[in-house]
Amino acid sequence: MLEVQNLHKVYPNGTRALTDVSFNVEDGEFLVVIGLSGSGKSTLLRCVNRLIEPTQGKILWDGVDVTAATGAELRGVRRRIGMIFQQFNLVKRSTVMTNVLAGRLGYVGTAGSLVGLWSAEDKAQALRALERVGLAEKANARADALSGGQQQRVAIARALMQNPQLILADEPVASLDPVLSHSILQYLEQLNREEKITVVCSLHFLDLVHRYATRVIALKDGQVVFTGLPQEIDKARFKEIYGEDAIEVKAGLSA
């Protein structure tokens, strides 16, 4: 279980990105975080694996205080939390295989990994992960030779290499068209259902939220303004969350 308790984040320039955010995520949930651009979704997800340092508050994961972890302990926490990004964040000049293997870096020795000595097991696992996202034949291609949707699938394979218990996905489909969006989210849904991997995912479009979320929390100006089931979010709620920009977001929906 992931417990976020009274989380605050104030950036050095004074921006209050998160204010007193508290919520729990049960194992096996597909939690979707919604909110306007700038409402603090990315900040929240990055606080969970400490890519961003929270200013105040606590994050407990299976009872372990993530906010207090340092050094090797923190890396130990991180390697069980996969992360997917809007911009895929692959190393573009490296091969697909190298990108996927990089997901194992938290598990292997520094010296061996630097000279590229990967165990047969790791390589086999990487191939299985690529097969799972349907890209086994692209293993030796350079990452930047792939389309956006393919790159995001490689990123999922990389996260799988971590044997994660939790996947954080920060707007994983915001750079993709609707058809590809569904294909990517279906992979996440499959991992969530079959591997019992907890997913915390931020999304922009209401129809995707309705289709994939088991639970939803909404952020507005860094504060939680809604927690509940996806069906509870009707047009009125939606307008409440998105304010005057609601029309704009809906326009995106019909596209």
Partner 1 sequence: MSTPKPDRWRALRLTLITLFVALAYVFAYRGSFIASGSPLDPRDLLSPDLWAKGGPLLGDFLTPDLAARDIEPVTLQLPVPVPCGSAENGAPAASGPRLVPSVPCAEPRDKFTVEGFELQPNTELQLRWRLPSGQYFPGQFITTDADGYFSAEFEARPIVATKDGVPGQIEVELQVEVGELKPSQAFFDVLDGVIVTIFMALMATAAAVVVAAPFSFLAAQNVTRRGPVGTAVYYTVRTIFNILRSFEAIVIATLFAFWVDFGPFAGVLALTVVTVASLGKLFSEAIEGIDPGPVEALTATGANRLQVVWFAIVPQIVPNFVSFIIYHWDINVRISTIIGYVGGGGIGYYLAQMINTGQDNKAGTAIWAIVLVVWAMDFISAEVRKRYT
Residues near Mg ion (CB under 5 A) are: 42
Output the smallest distance, CB 131 to ligand ADP, in A: 32
Q: Does 11 bind ligand ADP (CB under 6 A)?
A: yes
- From 24-32, 108-116, 121-129, 205-213, span contacting partner 1 (CB under 8 A): 108-116
What binding mask, one character per residue, do residues 36-65 give for ligand ADP by CB under 6 A, x or -? -xxxxxxx----------------------
Structure tokens at 208: 């995707």
What binding mask, one character per residue, do residues 29-68 give for partner 1 by CB under 8 A, x or -? --------------------x-x-----------------
Angle, CA 130 vertex, CA 127 and CA 131 arms, to 5°: 85
Amino acid at 87: Q
Q: How far apart are CA 225 and CA 128, in angstroms?
A: 41
The number of residues that bind partner 1 (CB under 8 A) is 36
Nearer to ligand ADP, 79 or 220 (CB): 220
59 Cβ contact list (under 8 Å, min separation 6): 2, 3, 4, 5, 7, 47, 48, 65, 66, 67
Q: Does 187 bind partner 1 (CB under 8 A)?
A: no
Check residue 144 and give left, alpha or beta (phi > 0: left; psi -120 to 50: alpha): alpha
- From 9-17, 88-96, 113-121, 244-252, span contacting ligand ADP (CB under 6 A): 9-17
Name beta bridge partners: 166: 81, 198
